[in-house]
Structure 1
Amino acid sequence: MTQSISLKVPEELDHPLFFPEKETILEKKRYAGWSGTIPFEAFPYELLYYNNVEVYAPWTKGAMHINELLEKWKEIDSECSLLFSERKVGQTLGLMKQGIGLFLTAVFWMHGKPVVLSDFRAKMESFTNIPVNLIERLSFILAKPAFFHSYRQLSELFREFEKQYVKFMIKNKKSQKKRLS
């Protein structure tokens, strides 16, 4: 039997796109460790963390999980692309929400931080490995998540982020080698 717990949406994650309700339910046991797959719930690790529930904190090893986030986006990207090409715009919101969530997760985790939605602009200003004009572009996407232009922006942000991630990993490998020698 799985143990589901009811959680208040913390101030840090209060955003109408992801949490129109002020409470959500999660299976705590699922997030005690890394399951090897990205969950579809929005920010489950952060929800538990901000509610002071002890769980795995993937942002402490964020760079390790980024490839998986990027792979998940590629699946969502191809589904969105197909829906938009078939003019089934009404069916894209759920996928776009997942994609936006993955992108935010990737950016925050790469910087070793849990996702913060309520003040993401201020938090991201201190981040170094991010695409150009990220905050403005993300604000546009969040304002109109089901629009084709938002999808194109998100797709482009992922492409640019992936390049930043590769540079980040190369730099980290070089600095690790220096420390070891």
Structure 2
Amino acid sequence: MTQFISLKVPAELEHLLFFPEKETILENEHYKRWSGSIPFESFPYELLYYNNVESYAPWTKGAEHVKELLDKWKEIDSECSSLFSERKVNQTSGLMKQGISLFLTAVFWMHGRPVILSSLQRQIESLKDNPVNLAERLSFIIARPAFFHSYRQLSELFQEFEKQYAKYLIKNKNSKKNV
């Protein structure tokens, strides 16, 4: 039997784009372990973590999961591209929200940290090895998620991040060999 739980949106995740309401509902059982087929709402693992609900903590093995997040973005990217080319801009906001959520998740998890949306610019600036002007670019995207220019910027950020992720994997692979 499927069990849903109601969760308060914690201060760490308060953000109108992702959580316009003060509470949200999650299917708790899906997030006790990792599975590539898990439905991906905005920051489900963090919601559970900050509410002290036992669940898997993917950021502890974040680099392992980033590849899957990047693959999910490629699906969203393809859909967004089609919708923008067909001038169906009003149908892109949900996909863009998912894409922004995936990007933030990938960035934080690669750094071994759960996503924190409060004081996002400061949080982003505290992370290393990010795309150039990441905080400013994200601010632009988040302020106008349904704009074509925001989509292009997010797509470019994913491309730059993927390169940095590859460097990260090589660097960490080499550092493990030297141990």
Cα contact 2:7–2:26 (8 A) shared by 1 = yes
- Deviation of the 1:36 alpha carbon: 2.1
Q: TM-score, normalised by structure 2?
A: 0.98
- 1:63 pairs with 2:101: no
- 1:10 pairs with 2:10: yes
Who is 2:131 aligned against? 131
Who is 1:103 aligned against? 103
Who is 1:53 aligned against? 53
1:64-103 Cα offsets, whole Å, 9 max, x none, are 0011000000000010000000000000000000000000
SS in 2 for 1:172: helix
SS in 1 for 2:55: coil
Q: Distance in 1 between matches of 2:43 and 2:154?
A: 18
Cα contact 2:30–2:38 (8 A) shared by 1 = no
Q: TM-score, normalised by structure 1?
A: 0.97
SS in 2 for 1:45: helix
Who is 2:170 aligned against? 170
Q: Distance in 2 between matches of 1:14 and 1:62?
A: 22
Q: Which aligned segments of 4 or more residues in structure 1 are displaced greater than 3 angstroms?
A: none
Task: State the superposition RMSD in angstroms.
Answer: 0.8
Cα contact 2:104–2:115 (8 A) shared by 1 = yes
- Deviation of the 1:40 alpha carbon: 2.6
Q: Distance in 1 between matches of 2:150 and 2:37?
A: 26
- Deviation of the 1:120 alpha carbon: 1.6
**Range with bigger deviation, 117-126 or 75-84:** 117-126
SS in 2 for 1:26: strand
Who is 2:19 aligned against? 19
Cα contact 1:8–1:22 (8 A) shared by 2 = yes
Q: Distance in 2 between matches of 1:40 and 1:52?
A: 19
Q: Distance in 1 between matches of 2:52 and 2:82?
A: 40
Question: Structure 2: any 5+ residue segments left out of the alignment?
Answer: none
Who is 2:120 aligned against? 120
For 1:21-36, list aligned pairs within 5 A: 21-36=21-36
One-letter amino acid matched to 1:45: Y
- Deviation of the 1:126 alpha carbon: 1.9
Would you say how many aligned residue pairs link Structure 1 and Structure 2?
Answer: 179
Who is 2:157 aligned against? 157
1:113-133 Cα offsets, whole Å, 9 max, x none, are 000111221112121121000
Q: Distance in 2 between matches of 1:50 and 1:56?
A: 12
- 1:37 pairs with 2:34: no
Percent identity over paired residues: 76
- Deviation of the 1:39 alpha carbon: 2.8
Cα contact 1:38–1:68 (8 A) shared by 2 = no
For 1:82-101, list aligned pairs within 5 A: 82-101=82-101
